[in-house]
């Protein structure tokens, strides 16, 4: 897609006329020089929870020289941490950090002649502590091998003293300003370019199922919401059914304070935030409990964890004197119903679990205003992993398979070691309807990572995921919707370990950074086509996005990298405009440093870097001369895109036939862009229905090169809502632009609903 978007052909022509008289940028010739050695920056290791009285095994090597683990303790607790080398020449080193990140204790050798490490200390404060298991000299060290780490705590938490530690007594230092909320409380704020983030804190008990709802009340803001723990790691799942609303759900893993981050995908404006607890108790399989309905509590929810394939059963009955009419509902974390049952006194469910994770079991009284006691029992038969049909796999292998109604999920098992970087790629056969979906799980089928669409393609990819421990892992190759999905077809699955080998080419651009943030790389080639996550392949002169990391914050990578290349030996002459865009915050609330390398014919032309705040963009450009050498046009600078530039240049919103999505047009954003794939001969029906305000919208259908194919202002004399019916001329990518009459100078505004359908 072109990065210089305008809603109609007239403005395209006007822009071209203005460009004719523009002054050419000064070109700075570059003489190719030998490769310069640079010192790579270590990727921050993920932090894994470690329970007192337990051990964990891991691996220290040159790729991952350290691992981090967290635990909660109170002042006065005696903590013993032991790290034992179990193979290789590993010389263990232990570091213990306090809740504020300061070093509390360290040990290299437990005793004279004993290279194992041991920390035995008495804590002086309450909070969450972090263990770093590493080797002598850490990153600079050379010893490698496996280890066993054990944590023991003697004190209030482990010993059960009456003076128990209450993590809700003291607010933590999240490192940002925040407003404290309680359940069923409202907050409010405003997001703009100068203040793109707002924070709120909520305290809760272990097992609480928290729902936070962020709703735009004014402006063009498209909200984005997340809940984070004390380490600022995202623990929530987000659901967005309307453009002006974001809903985040999280089951609190432990009692304590949590940070709510209110952000925006695009635009600016005011918002309201509401937080409540949908469930306040964890229900264990095999547990039987009693409860009571009252006029004030006609519904009670419980959270339980289950694995894909588990057969769970819930039985509920009311007491003989109860007036209540019972109902059982099994819900996922998006509050979508999986199964339900009701009766005069009894309600029973028996359901196979569709996916590993947390679920909500809701008991309801269908006769509001009445009271009564009830009994509830949750039982289950766990999935027998040994009886699953599993394909054995190993690194650097590829597999083929078929997904259909009879076999919606195929399982693959491989053995891995802690710290290994694993990449999975699931590609659908071009002639099939299959929408691939990938899940990486541990030996107990607990999900570690998943991915639906890599960039704008329907294929799935998990990139450079760091394995947390030695052992077996499972790959679930499936489809969107898993067992309830409808797509089918054949696929190819690739499994590899280690850093991905980047493709060479006539022109290459490589972006690297070290955080969970979703930075995106855009390159506009001399033909005017832009290669990015939204358009991973430019057919005109063949540019391709090889890797897209941290996509939409869903599938984090331990070593994020994005790489775009033009294959071949002879580069196409002209200007290559490069942009690095901090588009999604994900787990990083701070500014993110990055490194960018641009090469022509295998020679580095520009190696640069900078630091981006959320929403900022870095623009640079190079030129390929007639003799095939490269020159610098713009070494790069940080810019702050406007809301309209975010919409026009930040990648199109992806939709498919049958979708209905909402959007908002106003003076900040007067055009929105949507991308879909169609087949030659498809009769597409596109409409933009005005929902609020006085919006007078216009629809424009374009081809992949941004050439206008058709447009409509009003579907009929009786409406201001436009509609297009058009027969597609080719198979491939198309763009829908929704704008307003008058474009930038227009005065109408409001919400709209865009609908896309097709008949072959």
In a domain, 551, yes or no: yes
Same domain, 573 and 627: yes
For residues 588 and 492, the answer to whether their CB atoms sit within 8 Å is no
Q: Which residue matches tokens 């610098």?
A: 632
Reply yes or no on whether the pLDDT at 499 is more than 80. Answer: no
Angle (nearest 5°) at CA 665 between 660 and 666: 165
Minimum mean pLDDT among 183-192, 318-327, 415-424: which range?
318-327
| Cβ pair 240, 247 in contact under 8 A | yes
Secondary structure of residue 417 in the 3-state scheme: coil
Angle at 550 between CA 133 and CA 331, to 5 degrees: 95
Is residue 36, in this structure, part of any structural domain at all?
no
What's the CATH number where 117 sits? 2.60.120.380
CA-CA distance, 647 to 653, in Å (whole number)?
Answer: 9
> What is the structure's pLDDT at 33?
37
> In sequence order, what DSSP letters do the residues of 361-403 get, joined into one string?
EEEEESSTT--EEEEEEEEEE---GGGS-EEE--TTEEEEEEE
What pLDDT shows up at residue 1? 45
How far apart CA 5 and CA 7 sit, in angstroms, is 7
Q: What angle do CA 98, 100, 105 make, to 5 degrees?
A: 25
Task: Let me know if residue 419 belongs to a domain.
Answer: yes
Say what the pLDDT of residue 202 is. 94
Per-residue pLDDT band at 239 (split at 50, 70, 90): low
Tokens of 226: 């997340």
Residue 15 has pLDDT above 80, yes or no: no
Do 420 and 519 sit in the same domain of this protein? no
Q: Of all residues in the chain, what percent carry a pLDDT higher than 70?
A: 89
Q: Which residue has the higher pLDDT, 89 or 11?
A: 89
pLDDT at 477: 96
What percent of the chain stands above pLDDT 90? 43
End of a domain among 473, 497, 521? 497
Do 622 and 561 fall within a single domain?
A: yes
pLDDT at 69: 86
Average pLDDT across the chain, whole number: 84
Contact assessment for residue 375 and residue 388, using Cβ atoms and an 8 Å cutoff: no
Residues 441 and 540 in one domain: no
Q: Is residue 375 part of a domain?
A: yes
Q: Of 231, 253, 277, which marks where a domain is finished? A: 277
Residue 537 has pLDDT above 50, yes or no: yes
Is the pLDDT confidence value at 414 over 80?
yes
Confidence (pLDDT) at 13: 28
Is the CB of residue 377 less than 8 Å from the CB of residue 314? Answer: yes
* Inside any domain, residue 8: no
Instruction: Indicate whether 656 and 750 sit together in one domain.
Output: yes
**What is the pLDDT, as a whole number, of residue 8?**
38
Q: Which of 241-255, 282-296, 675-689 has the highest mean pLDDT?
A: 675-689
Q: Do both 755 and 698 map to the same domain? A: yes
> What strands, in cross-sheet order, belong to the sheet with 28-29?
28-29, 630-639, 617-624, 574-584, 518-524, 530-531
Residues 95 and 183 in one domain: no
Among 416-425, 501-510, 655-664, the range with the most confident prediction by mean pLDDT is 501-510
**pLDDT tens profile 127-180:** 889 999 999 888 788 888 888 898 988 754 333 344 455 778 788 888 889 999
pLDDT reported for residue 42: 32
Residue 94 lies in a domain: yes
Same domain? For 216 and 240 the reply is yes
Query: What is the DSSP-derived secondary structure letter of residue 155?
Result: S
Do 203 and 226 belong to one domain? yes
Average pLDDT over residues 70-86: 88
The pLDDT, as a whole number, for residue 498 is: 81
- In this structure, the answer to whether residues 666 and 752 fall within a common structural domain is yes
With CA atoms as reference, report the closest residue to 440 among 427, 424, 456.
Answer: 424
Which residue among 381, 409, 428 closes a domain? Answer: 381
Closest CA to 332 of 303, 312, 363: 303
Q: Could you list the residue range(s) of the whole structural domain that residue 122 is in?
A: 47-159
CA distance 235 to 221: 23
Q: Are residues 507 and 630 in the same domain?
A: yes
- Lateral strand order in the sheet of 592-600: 537-538, 543-547, 561-566, 507-513, 592-600, 603-612
Q: What is residue 6's predicted lDDT score, i.e. its pLDDT? A: 44
- Mean pLDDT on 318-336: 83
Number of domains in the chain: 6
In a domain, 139, yes or no: yes
User: Which burial class, exposed, middle or buried, applies to 638 when counting CB atoms under 10 A from its CB (0-12, 13-18, 19+)?
Assistant: middle
What secondary structure letter does DSSP report for 551? G
- Among 533-537, 606-610, 688-692, the range scoring the smallest mean pLDDT is 533-537
| Residue, of 718 and 506, whose pLDDT is higher | 506
Query: pTM of the full predicted structure?
Result: 0.56
SS3 459: coil
601 shares its domain with 558: yes
Q: What is the pLDDT of residues 720-759, one digit of tens each?
A: 899 999 999 998 889 999 999 998 899 999 999 999 999 7
pLDDT digits (tens, 9 = 90+) for 269-300: 999 999 988 655 667 888 888 888 888 778 88
**What integer is the mean pLDDT of 630-639?**
95
Q: Is residue 753 part of a domain?
A: yes
């Amino acid at each position: 897609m072109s990065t210089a978007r305008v809603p109609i052909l007239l403005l395209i022509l006007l822009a071209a006329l203005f460009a004719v008289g523009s002054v050419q940028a000064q070109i700075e010739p570059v003489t190719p020089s030998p490769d310069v050695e640079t010192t790579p920056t270590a990727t921050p290791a993920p932090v894994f929870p470690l329970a007192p009285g337990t051990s964990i095994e891991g691996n220290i090597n040159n790729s991952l020289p350290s691992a981090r683990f967290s635990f909660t303790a109170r002042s006065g607790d005696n903590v013993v941490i032991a790290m034992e080398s179990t193979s290789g020449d590993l010389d263990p080193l232990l570091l213990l950090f306090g809740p504020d990140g300061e070093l509390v204790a360290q040990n290299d050798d437990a005793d004279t002649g004993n290279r194992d490490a041991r920390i035995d200390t008495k804590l002086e404060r309450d909070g969450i502590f972090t263990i770093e298991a590493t080797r002598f000299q850490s990153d600079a060290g050379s010893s490698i091998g496996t280890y066993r780490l054990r944590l023991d705590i003697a004190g209030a938490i482990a010993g059960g003293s009456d003076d128990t530690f209450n993590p809700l007594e003291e607010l933590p230092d999240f490192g940002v300003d925040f407003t404290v909320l309680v359940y069923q409380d409202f907050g409010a704020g405003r997001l703009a370019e100068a203040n793109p983030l707002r924070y709120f804190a909520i305290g809760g008990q272990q097992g609480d199922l928290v729902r936070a709802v962020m709703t735009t009340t004014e402006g063009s803001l498209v909200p984005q919401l997340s809940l984070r723990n004390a380490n600022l790691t995202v623990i929530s799942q987000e659901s967005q059914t309307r453009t002006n609303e974001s809903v985040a759900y999280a089951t609190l893993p432990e009692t304590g304070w949590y940070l709510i981050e209110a952000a925006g995908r695009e635009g600016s404006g005011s918002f309201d935030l509401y937080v409540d607890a949908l469930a306040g108790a964890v229900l264990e399989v095999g547990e039987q409990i009693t409860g009571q309905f009252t006029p004030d509590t006609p519904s009670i929810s419980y959270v339980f964890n289950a694995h894909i394939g588990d057969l769970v059963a819930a039985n509920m009955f009311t007491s003989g004197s109860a007036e209540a009419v019972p109902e059982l509902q099994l819900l996922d974390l998006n509050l979508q119903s999986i199964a339900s049952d009701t009766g005069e006194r009894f309600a029973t469910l028996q359901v196979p679990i569709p996916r590993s994770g947390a679920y909500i079991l809701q008991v309801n009284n269908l006769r509001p205003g009445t009271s009564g006691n009830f009994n509830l029992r949750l039982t289950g038969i766990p999935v027998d992993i040994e009886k699953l049909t599993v394909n054995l796999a190993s690194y650097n292998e590829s597999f083929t398979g078929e997904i259909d109604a009879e076999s919606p999920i195929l399982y693959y098992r491989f053995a891995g070691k802690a710290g290994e970087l694993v990449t999975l790629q699931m590609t659908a056969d071009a002639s099939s309807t299959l929408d691939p979906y990938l899940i990486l799980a541990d030996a107990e089928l607990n999900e570690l990572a998943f991915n639906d669409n890599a960039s704008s393609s329907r294929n799935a990819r998990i990139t450079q995921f760091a394995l947390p421990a030695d052992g077996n892992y499972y790959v679930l190759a499936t489809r969107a919707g898993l067992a309830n999905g409808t797509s089918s077809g054949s696929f190819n699955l690739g499994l590899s370990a280690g850093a991905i080998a980047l493709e060479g080419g006539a022109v290459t651009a490589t972006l690297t950074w070290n955080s969970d943030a979703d930075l995106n790389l855009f390159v506009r080639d001399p033909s005017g086509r832009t290669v990015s996550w939204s358009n991973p392949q430019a057919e005109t002169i063949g540019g391709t996005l090889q890797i897209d990391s941290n996509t939409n914050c869903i599938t984090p990578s331990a070593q994020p990298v994005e790489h775009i290349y033009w294959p071949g030996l002879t580069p196409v002459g002209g200007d290559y405009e490069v942009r690095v865009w901090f588009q999604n915050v994900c787990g990083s609330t701070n500014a993110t440093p990055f490194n960018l390398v641009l090469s022509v014919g295998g020679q580095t032309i520009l190696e640069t870097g900078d630091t981006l705040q959320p929403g900022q963009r870095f623009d640079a450009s190079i030129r390929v001369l007639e003799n095939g050498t490269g020159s610098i046009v713009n070494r790069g600078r940080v810019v702050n895109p406007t809301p309209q530039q975010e919409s026009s240049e930040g990648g199109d919103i992806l939709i498919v036939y049958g979708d209905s999505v909402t959007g908002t047009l106003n003076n900040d954003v007067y055009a929105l862009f949507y991308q879909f794939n169609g087949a030659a001969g498809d009769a597409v029906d596109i409409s933009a229905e005005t929902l609020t305000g006085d919006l007078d919208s216009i629809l424009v259908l374009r081809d992949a090169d941004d050439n206008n194919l058709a447009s409509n202002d009003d579907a009929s004399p009786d409406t201001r809502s436009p509609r297009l019916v058009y027969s597609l001329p080719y198979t491939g990518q198309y763009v829908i632009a929704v704008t307003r009459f008058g474009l930038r100078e227009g005065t109408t505004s409001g919400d709209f609903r865009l609908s896309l359908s097709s008949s072959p």
